[in-house]
Structure 1
């Protein structure tokens, strides 16, 4: 092999390895937080039963009376969301902001009393979700998660290709066997988890959604549109709208529509409709339980009814004019394109929602497999590292497919721009460092 070719192979192998070390801590974190979020229904019931359950009475109070009770208890707060009871004996929930804090308030819908409150960002599920999505550090964390997930895809695909001929070989050491077996059998499931997770990222995921989530223009022809998208209703701690509608525009309410229709010259905005009218509209349009209502923001804001359902065929996103109650937009499963339907189905499988406990247990198995593969990979590196060093194990010279594995890495780097940019940057830095040192470190055969 030509020295320059060997040097390039060694360079690619070195950064393939370092990328693996970079990815492993993220995969461990994503697996642990994913397990917590995976079992959210069971954990919520176990930890917060006193907030979620209330004694059943003969009749529920209207949503407006529940809202009045919240505003009486918190007169200075801004109410942002209402989550109607999911069934008999269940509490209603309001999300409020007060003095820089966001609270989940649980209300007895039969008696109008406050059952209790919970910090909306400092509870177990919110913390797990924020760690899972952005490491609790905002945009930088989102980009790091996206970079790690992208590199995870590159490593799984190139690693699977690279080691395929050796999977049937015998006589290997225990940790290498364990790593190869879990890596091989879990590779497709891990790829599924990484790819469906990537759709929610802030850079690649947003652009992917923009490329594929298209709805008929006629849906918005007669609707005044704001500069905001439906994704603005989501946050790192709470998912409100489904992925398929994130890029759709939020309509505008018309404060003067009622006056203009009546021929009035009064320029003052008309009164808001009641919250119960929004609930009634959702019921009349067949929206299933489990939805949330985002209250209008400002004079031109809209009521947004959003159901991100366990079965995506029941997804619903409705926007209502806050003054007239007119439904400005109503987006359902049948409006989704083919890619949106595939992604939405993948996402609910990813979150363990589609097939109940069986889906949860399958995803738990994937998370445990990822943890096992990550730990075995670290142990394997520790045992194969150069003597007295924390460096890279030597490139094995019995890997004839390594050249094509490098091509796979480069192609995937082009598909995932953050990965490609990091690959070019790291190789440039490596080349500069090696050129300053004057030579490439020699690696012994493994």
Structure 2
């Protein structure tokens, strides 16, 4: 973002110069607003994209165990060990199912005070390795910065505006550096490292802008569907049009468990453990298996996918956790949840049995199992792997084990499928480490552009002046530009309001400076 100061020698009475300077002014305004937030987005996004590597390293003593050939303890036993390490009254929320032999078992509980805490247990010995606050772990803080600057709803709107104005900054930047006249693409795409000082900054800024424009545009477009305002409305419209996520893919389960008439006489005979599966013998579930019934919703630190379906960045697995939080109350209900003893008395299926049902449906590891928090709630399996085509959500009756709702990628509407692909790419998950490093390269490249833009502005900024690029004293026809801004404002209403404000302030500024500029032009 190059930001020259107002100078009489810059005023050239011709349409081409006028159009160039108009684009320059909008590039200036966009950059001035976006620069600090773009830097935050770039740094936090780069950190978050390496979450799969950072968290096991940072919390190695809790998340990593020595791989062993010894048999694992049952999930129910591990969950009971985890519960015993917490204060009385803690309720099970979810289980983070990971069959990697070198990873610990993770269970997410809601403590009596309302906060959530992950408990890590050695799957071979049953030793409790430690706990980790869901709300205060590093990656949760990074995600909150990335999404909302830790400012709640106002922060979400601020970062949404930053994403929208980044579109203006990118488009105007490309237009300003686009080869014209005798300039060539070879010169526009190749840095001139022999330059020094501000000319070098300007050259690097422009060249990097052309190289990074496509990646920056992709980041914005894949992130906006998860924004707090526009993203929420966008997904709602897509759903109404039959192109969004089906009910139950995210959030509260649209189905309920059918409660037995007698809790002590469960209808186990010929139960459809999963649609199309064989039946089990007529027998009662042993009491020790009944108590094993809890499932939980671990999701690497508060996956609020429900709200995340707006801005990107963040992790889809993480955001699945908030969706899971709603699904856990699946049948509706408050956030208090149930203790393991209450679940056992309620007669729900043991966790290990539910995991078997999920495995029969093709989901064996890398998913969250959300435990019902009320009598008619359901178990919810939330599986969001790197390849969106393998995404799966299962809602399972907590008493009979019947799969009440099986939602896969093919059940998504066209818009939802595109969002899922975009999210996986945005988070660096789709094609492994190469995707992570590509995201990091684009993010830090955008950071460098913001930094060089700020440096150029500071170098050229006149004392006691903002340094807004001068506007031509003549009207320049730019119908295409005007139509584009109007269209952008209609699609993104929040941004449209801020564009009107910027336009109004700019007109006030122009009235104050037009007369001196016209005199200078004469």
Q: TM-score, normalised by structure 2?
A: 0.70
Counterpart position of 2:206 = 180
Matched, 1:90 2:103: yes
Cα distance, 1:401–1:105 mapped onto 2, change above 3 Å: farther
Correspondence 1:304-319 to 2 at 5 A: 304-319=380-395
Matched, 1:409 2:464: no
Whether contact under 8 Å (1:242, 1:344) holds in the other structure is no
Counterpart position of 2:270 = none
Bigger drift between 301-310 and 168-177 goes to 168-177
Cα distance, 1:241–1:322 mapped onto 2, change above 3 Å: farther
What is the CA distance between 1:81 and its match in structure 2? 1.6
The separation in 1 between residues aligned to 2:243 and 2:27, in whole angstroms, is: 40
| Equivalent position to 1:76, from 80, 86, 89 | 89
The separation in 1 between residues aligned to 2:414 and 2:254, in whole angstroms, is: 25
Whether contact under 8 Å (2:63, 2:104) holds in the other structure is yes
The separation in 1 between residues aligned to 2:409 and 2:317, in whole angstroms, is: 16
What is the CA distance between 1:15 and its match in structure 2? 5.4
The SS at the match of 1:348 is: helix
Matched, 1:205 2:218: no
What is the CA distance between 1:217 and its match in structure 2? 11
What is the CA distance between 1:182 and its match in structure 2? 0.8
The SS at the match of 2:363 is: coil
Correspondence 1:8-23 to 2 at 5 A: 14=25, 16-23=27-34
Matched, 1:59 2:68: no
Whether contact under 8 Å (2:118, 2:133) holds in the other structure is yes
Counterpart position of 1:50 = 61
Correspondence 1:270-285 to 2 at 5 A: 271-285=347-361
User: Structure 1: which 5+ residue stretches go unaligned?
Assistant: 256-268
User: Structure 2: which 5+ residue stretches go unaligned?
Assistant: 1-11, 258-302, 309-313, 334-344
Counterpart position of 2:122 = 108
The separation in 1 between residues aligned to 2:90 and 2:229, in whole angstroms, is: 33
RMSD: 3.9
| Equivalent position to 1:340, from 416, 439, 458 | 416
What is the CA distance between 1:349 and its match in structure 2? 1.4
Map Cα deviations across residues 67-112 of structure 1 (whole Å, 9 max, x no partner): 2122222232122121023311311111122224322211112222
Whether contact under 8 Å (1:158, 1:408) holds in the other structure is no
Counterpart position of 2:217 = 191
Counterpart position of 1:138 = 152
Bigger drift between 172-181 and 7-16 goes to 7-16
Map Cα deviations across residues 195-217 of structure 1 (whole Å, 9 max, x no partner): 10111112221222223353799
Cα distance, 1:336–1:100 mapped onto 2, change above 3 Å: closer
The SS at the match of 2:93 is: strand
Counterpart position of 1:260 = none
Whether contact under 8 Å (1:384, 1:393) holds in the other structure is no
The separation in 1 between residues aligned to 2:148 and 2:246, in whole angstroms, is: 36
What is the CA distance between 1:26 and its match in structure 2? 1.1
Q: TM-score, normalised by structure 1?
A: 0.81
Cα distance, 1:288–1:418 mapped onto 2, change above 3 Å: farther
The SS at the match of 1:354 is: coil
The separation in 1 between residues aligned to 2:410 and 2:108, in whole angstroms, is: 30
| Equivalent position to 2:37, from 12, 22, 26 | 26
Counterpart position of 2:172 = 158
Cα distance, 1:117–1:32 mapped onto 2, change above 3 Å: same
Map Cα deviations across residues 163-222 of structure 1 (whole Å, 9 max, x no partner): 4244747899211111111111110110001110111112221222223353799989x9
Counterpart position of 1:128 = 142
Aligned residues: 420
Counterpart position of 2:272 = none
What is the CA distance between 1:125 and its match in structure 2? 1.3
Q: Computing the radius of gyration over CA atoms, which structure comes out larger, 1 or 2?
A: 2
Cα distance, 1:218–1:176 mapped onto 2, change above 3 Å: closer
The SS at the match of 2:374 is: coil
Matched, 1:39 2:53: no
What is the CA distance between 1:150 and its match in structure 2? 0.8
The SS at the match of 1:353 is: coil
Matched, 1:351 2:427: yes
Cα distance, 1:252–1:34 mapped onto 2, change above 3 Å: closer
Q: Per chain length, whose mean CA-contact separation is higher, i.e. which structure has more relative contact order (CA < 8 Å, sep 6+)?
A: 2
Cα distance, 1:96–1:217 mapped onto 2, change above 3 Å: closer
What is the CA distance between 1:294 and its match in structure 2? 1.6
The SS at the match of 1:79 is: strand
Counterpart position of 1:259 = none
Whether contact under 8 Å (2:381, 2:395) holds in the other structure is yes
Correspondence 1:431-442 to 2 at 5 A: none
Counterpart position of 2:379 = 303
The SS at the match of 1:46 is: helix
The SS at the match of 2:178 is: helix
Bigger drift between 193-202 and 60-69 goes to 60-69
The separation in 1 between residues aligned to 2:212 and 2:475, in whole angstroms, is: 22
The SS at the match of 2:65 is: coil
Counterpart position of 2:468 = 392
The SS at the match of 2:347 is: coil
